[in-house]
Amino acid sequence: MEKRATFSSTTIGLLFAAPMLVLIFVFFYWPSGQALYWAFTLEQPWGGGNTWVGLQNFRQLLMDPYYWGAISRSMVFGLGATSIAMGVALLLALFTDREMRGHKAYRSIFIWPYAIAAPALGLAFRFILAPEAGFLSLINQIWPGLWNPALDGTDAMIAVIVAFSWKYIGYNFIFFLSALQSIPRSLIEAAAMDGSGPMRRMWDIQLPLLTPTLFFLLVINITESFQDSFGIVDIMTQGGPARATELMVYKIYFDGFKGLDYSGAAAQSIILMGLVVLLTIVQFRFVERRVHYK
Amino acid sequence: MSSIAIKGVKKAYAKNAVVHGVDLEIATGEFIVILGPSGCGKSTLLRMIAGLEDISGGEIWIDGKLVNKMEPRARGCAMVFQNYALYPHMTVAENIGYALKVAGVPKAERMKRVAATAKVVGLEAFLDRRPAALSGGQRQRVAMGRAIVREPKVFLFDEPLSNLDAKLRVAMRAEIRRLHRRLGATSVFVTHDQTEAMTLGDRLVVMNGGRIEQVGTPAEVYNRPATRFVANFVGSPSMNLMEGSIDRHGVFVYDEQRRIPLPGAIDARLVGHKVTLGVRAEAARLVAAGTPGSLPATVDFIEELGAGRVVHTDFDGLSFAVALSDPAAFETGDTVGVMIDPADVHLFSAESGARINALAQLPPVPVAS
Ligand SMILES: Nc1ncnc2c1ncn2[C@@H]1O[C@H](COP(=O)(O)OP(=O)(O)OP(=O)(O)O)[C@@H](O)[C@H]1O
Ligand SMILES: [Mg+2]
């Protein structure tokens, strides 16, 4: 029998749970509730109470071409960053799995980028990708003006995508690698006996067995690209040039804190939250239904 | 179809040697069983033949070609793994047909060969299932089917039956035998189950500690074990072994009360030397206590086997088994006599464990190879 402490009164139990409950309430439910409240009301910038306006904030948003612009840019950003982060990580993992079975050290090395806060990362990449002094300044010396994220919207988008991908490559790599290493070695050997070369084995055996991990990471990466991109955009481009990198999450901050449109920003947060919730539901649904091979 | 030659093959992991120079010739179409206790290097040897493990020393030839540096796929061997190693994301048909697909066999022909193979291994009804939806025995058949569909030159089996229950194991054993008769491919079968080994093999290779102890037909290995290890390992119950010495009259002396006269002339140099005497349980008889020429013993316990029974007796601390076909007329605690026919004894050097064949001809301390 498992030993476990039991409490006669629920009060003691609740007391133990209280600190966590308080944290969750203060940092999650309360702000969410506030956002929900603001999203359906209109608040005067200089105070003076809120008036209930129903869906008017949302209607206004959905008619705003700038908001749709932010949505499509978020999609471009999300798809670009996710495919780079996952593609590169998968390649690295496949080759690492082949060469370095049993080594552990690189796992912790590769996870480090994930531990770096987005703004710090953004700052680093701002220097790295700076047109005058960064790594890419060489290109500009050969073809002047080819790379300039401060003036060229496409360059700016590429810059934030690269910075974001760099952070998530390590994260994805860890998941891919451990999924690869949990594939029984004898499967690979059986395929080798069946005449399959290394590349063919990756394609026929390893990748199909990775699909649950692939899907999981796809959802995580897209979700994070919606949320975790703020710090990078804020430090590197501030949404510019000319809104070229104004993603949904950045627009929330900009409209709310710079434009002081609390209600509009709150409505945007609700939409973003809805999107993330939707993705999460899709993931759980899919993962549950997914054929698990064992 | 092809022959395999293994010449002085060694394997070491880092500094740790696990196979110490194995020599073995396998004829075309032969069914060889490698038998040995857990950890003796059977799988390692098999995997070196397959190409899944680098060879640290020596040479392996398949079909007259040196394969040391060849990729597994170039060697033309098919292997059945202990845990079957079926591809979990493929159906039974895809599992069986994978090798053909890789080889670029056109789909129509592939389907035909998969269907024919499925028939051989009795899986026609399961072609669309995934391995997860199969029983252990059915998975085993898929693994077999996957190996035979390619019509390989060489079959390698690594304990393919050890995950099955006893009854299924016997059935699959018969099936493997039948399959071999049909296909006639050279086969190497690894097992630690001696019944499996005796029933399947044209020849047995008994391994211990990374070395070959004996190579021979099942009857040879059973009737003339080359070493004390083989004597003890092959046969159930295992051979009774007694440590003793040979006196001037050519009599084996275990202790004061237990002496066994040996047949043939005794080399004077052997007198006084320590030897191990072996007697199979089936070769000994139980007689009434005090019968002249019998060794005194007490009945320890009786193992009922249905068709027969094994009486475990005690020689003042040494356990000695006697197999009987008649119902035992003894009970635990009875004093009995054990009768041994001198013609049925095996002698081994106590130092090296090697068999002493003709007492008169061998040097005093035979050296094991
Ligand atoms: N990758 C490895 N690294 C180091 N030692 C190994 C490795 N693989 C096997 N060994 C050692 O080599 C020896 C032989 O292993 P092997 O798998 O050939 O045994 P086996 O005879 O097949 O035993 P079993 O009947 O249990 O399968 C064992 O002592 C094992 O510990
Ligand atoms: Mg083994």
Q: What string of DSSP letters covers B100-125? A: HHHTT--HHHHHHHHHHHHHHTT-GG
Counted residue by residue, chain A has a size of 294
Q: Provide the residue type at A231 as one letter.
A: G
Structure tokens at B306: 């249905």
pLDDT of residue B366: 40
Asked whether the predicted pLDDT for residue B179 surpasses 70, the reply is yes
Q: With respect to residue A149, please indicate whether it lies within any of the assigned structural domains.
A: yes
Q: Which residue of B has its CA nearest to A197?
A: B73
Q: For the domain that residue A240 is a member of, what is the CATH number? A: 1.10.3720.10
Q: With respect to residue A11, please indicate whether it lies within any of the assigned structural domains.
A: no
pLDDT of residue B332: 87
Question: Is A245:A233 a contact under the CB 8 Å cutoff?
Answer: yes
Spatial separation of the C-alpha atoms in residues B194 and B229, rounded to whole Å: 13
Produce one character per residue of B291-323: b if its CB has 16 or more CB atoms within 10 Å, e if not: eeebbbbebeebeeeeeebbbbbebeeeebbbb
Confidence of residue A101 (pLDDT cuts 50, 70, 90): low
Strand spans (E) along chain B: 4-13, 16-26, 31-35, 57-62, 65-66, 77-80, 154-158, 186-191, 203-208, 211-216, 240-246, 251-255, 258-261, 274-279, 284-288, 295-304, 309-315, 318-324, 335-340, 346-349
Test the B interface: residue of A194, A204, A294 with most B CBs within 10 Å: A194
Calculate the alpha carbon distances from A38 to A44, B89, B319, B356 in Å: 11, 50, 89, 99
Residues 6+ apart with CB under 8 A from A129: A135, A136, A147, A149, A159, A162, A163, A236
Test the A interface: residue of B49, B73, B151 with most A CBs within 10 Å: B73
Q: With respect to residue A198, please indicate whether it lies within any of the assigned structural domains.
A: yes
Number of domains in chain A: 1
pLDDT of residue B156: 94
Of B320 and A141, more confident:
B320
Question: Is A50:A266 a contact under the CB 8 Å cutoff?
Answer: no
Residues in chain B closer than 8 A to A197 (CB atoms):
71, 73
Spatial separation of the C-alpha atoms in residues A194 and A196, rounded to whole Å: 6
pLDDT of residue B169: 86
B11 lines ligand 1 (CB under 6 A): no
Q: How far does residue A5's CA lie from ligand 2's centre (Å)?
A: 46
Local structure of residue B352 (DSSP, 8 states): T
Residues in chain B closer than 8 A to A294 (CB atoms):
88, 132
Which atom of ligand 1 is nearest to B192's Cα? 25
Spatial separation of the C-alpha atoms in residues B172 and B178, rounded to whole Å: 10
Asked whether the predicted pLDDT for residue B316 surpasses 90, the reply is no
Q: Provide the residue type at A134 as one letter.
A: G
Asked whether the predicted pLDDT for residue A119 surpasses 80, the reply is no
Of A43 and A251, more confident:
A251
pLDDT of residue B92: 94
Q: Which of A116-125, B156-165, B311-320 has the lowest mean pLDDT?
A: A116-125
Asked whether the predicted pLDDT for residue A174 surpasses 80, the reply is yes
- Beta strands B154-158; B186-191: pairing state: parallel
Asked whether the predicted pLDDT for residue B109 surpasses 90, the reply is yes
Calculate the alpha carbon distances from A66 to A55, A236, B71 in Å: 19, 21, 60
Per-residue pLDDT tens digits for B135-148: 888 998 999 999 98
Percent of chain A residues topping a pLDDT of 70: 83
Q: Which of B132-146, B265-279, B314-328 has the lowest mean pLDDT?
A: B265-279
Of B8 and A55, more confident:
B8
Q: With respect to residue A197, please indicate whether it lies within any of the assigned structural domains.
A: yes
Spatial separation of the C-alpha atoms in residues B7 and A4, rounded to whole Å: 62
| Mean pLDDT over each residue of chain B, to the nearest integer | 87
Asked whether the predicted pLDDT for residue A77 surpasses 70, the reply is yes
B290 lines ligand 1 (CB under 6 A): no
Confidence of residue B363 (pLDDT cuts 50, 70, 90): very low
Per-residue pLDDT tens digits for B227-256: 999 999 998 888 999 998 888 877 888 888
Nearest to B87 among A193, A195, A205 (CB): A205
Per-residue pLDDT, averaged over A127-151, amounts to: 71
Q: With respect to residue A27, please indicate whether it lies within any of the assigned structural domains.
A: no
Contact A294 B98 (CB under 8 A): no
What is the set of domains in chain B, with CATH numbers? 4-231 (3.40.50.300), 238-349 (2.40.50.140)
CA-atom Rg of chain B in angstroms? 25
pLDDT of residue A290: 55
Local structure of residue B153 (DSSP, 8 states): S
Domain with A189, as residue range(s), is 72-290
* Burial of A127 per CB tally in 10 Å (0-12, 13-18, 19+): exposed
Per-residue pLDDT tens digits for B213-223: 999 999 999 99
Of A53 and A76, more confident:
A76
> Alpha helix locations (H) across A131-184?
137-142, 153-181
Per-residue pLDDT tens digits for A26-57: 888 888 888 888 878 877 666 667 777 777 77
Structure tokens at B269: 């140099």
Per-residue pLDDT, averaged over B149-160, amounts to: 90
Asked whether the predicted pLDDT for residue B188 surpasses 70, the reply is yes
Asked whether the predicted pLDDT for residue A100 surpasses 70, the reply is no
pLDDT of residue B111: 93
Question: Is B219:B28 a contact under the CB 8 Å cutoff?
Answer: no
pLDDT of residue A2: 53
Residues in chain A closer than 8 A to B89 (CB atoms):
208-209, 293
Contact A186 B72 (CB under 8 A): no
pLDDT of residue B330: 81
Q: With respect to residue A207, please indicate whether it lies within any of the assigned structural domains.
A: yes
Question: Residue B17 CA to chain centroid, in angstroms?
Answer: 22
Q: How far does residue B44's CA lie from ligand 1's centre (Å)?
A: 6
Contact B146 A294 (CB under 8 A): no
Q: What is the pTM of this model?
A: 0.79
Confidence of residue A187 (pLDDT cuts 50, 70, 90): very high
Q: Which residue of B has its CA nearest to A194?
A: B99
CA neighbor of A250 nearest in space, from A225, A273, A233: A233
Per-residue pLDDT, averaged over B97-104, amounts to: 93
B38 lines ligand 1 (CB under 6 A): yes
B95 lines ligand 1 (CB under 6 A): no
Of B263 and B332, more confident:
B332
Q: With respect to residue A268, please indicate whether it lies within any of the assigned structural domains.
A: yes
Question: Is B286:B327 a contact under the CB 8 Å cutoff?
Answer: no
Spatial separation of the C-alpha atoms in residues B247 and B253, rounded to whole Å: 7
- Residue owning tokens 């206590």: B289
Nearest to B98 among A194, A209, A291 (CB): A194
Q: Which of A245-254, A282-291, B163-172, B286-295 has the lowest mean pLDDT?
A: A282-291
- Beta strands A50-52; B65-66: pairing state: unpaired
Confidence of residue A127 (pLDDT cuts 50, 70, 90): confident
Structure tokens at A146: 């080819």
pLDDT of residue B329: 77
Per-residue pLDDT tens digits for B198-212: 999 999 999 999 999
Q: With respect to residue A176, please indicate whether it lies within any of the assigned structural domains.
A: yes
Instruction: Please provide residue B186's backbone torsions phi and psi, each rounded to the nearest 5 degrees.
Output: -60, 130
Question: Is A192:B73 a contact under the CB 8 Å cutoff?
Answer: yes
Percent of chain A residues topping a pLDDT of 90: 9
Of B164 and B310, more confident:
B310
Cα of B18 to nearest chain A Cα, Å: 20
Structure tokens at B236: 């159930």
Percent of chain B residues topping a pLDDT of 70: 94
Contact B85 A189 (CB under 8 A): yes
Question: Is B334:B299 a contact under the CB 8 Å cutoff?
Answer: yes
Instruction: Please provide residue A246's backbone torsions phi and psi, each rounded to the nearest 5 degrees.
Output: -80, 95
Asked whether the predicted pLDDT for residue A103 surpasses 70, the reply is no
Asked whether the predicted pLDDT for residue A70 surpasses 60, the reply is yes
Spatial separation of the C-alpha atoms in residues A168 and A85, rounded to whole Å: 6
Q: How far does residue B230's CA lie from ligand 1's centre (Å)?
A: 20
| Three-state SS annotation for B266-309 | CCHHHCCCEEEEEECHHHEEEEECCCCCCEEEEEEEEEECCCCE
Question: Is B81:A190 a contact under the CB 8 Å cutoff?
Answer: yes
Between CA A178 and CA B50, with CA B162 as vertex, the angle to 5 degrees is: 65
Question: Is B215:B24 a contact under the CB 8 Å cutoff?
Answer: yes
pLDDT of residue B368: 38
CA neighbor of A249 nearest in space, from A124, A75, A82: A75
- C-alpha atoms less than 13 angstroms from C-alpha of A27 in its C-beta half-sphere: 6
Per-residue pLDDT, averaged over B102-112, amounts to: 93
Calculate the alpha carbon distances from B182 to A1, A81, B179 in Å: 56, 58, 5
pLDDT of residue B278: 92
Q: Which residues pair with A41 in a beta bridge?
A: A52
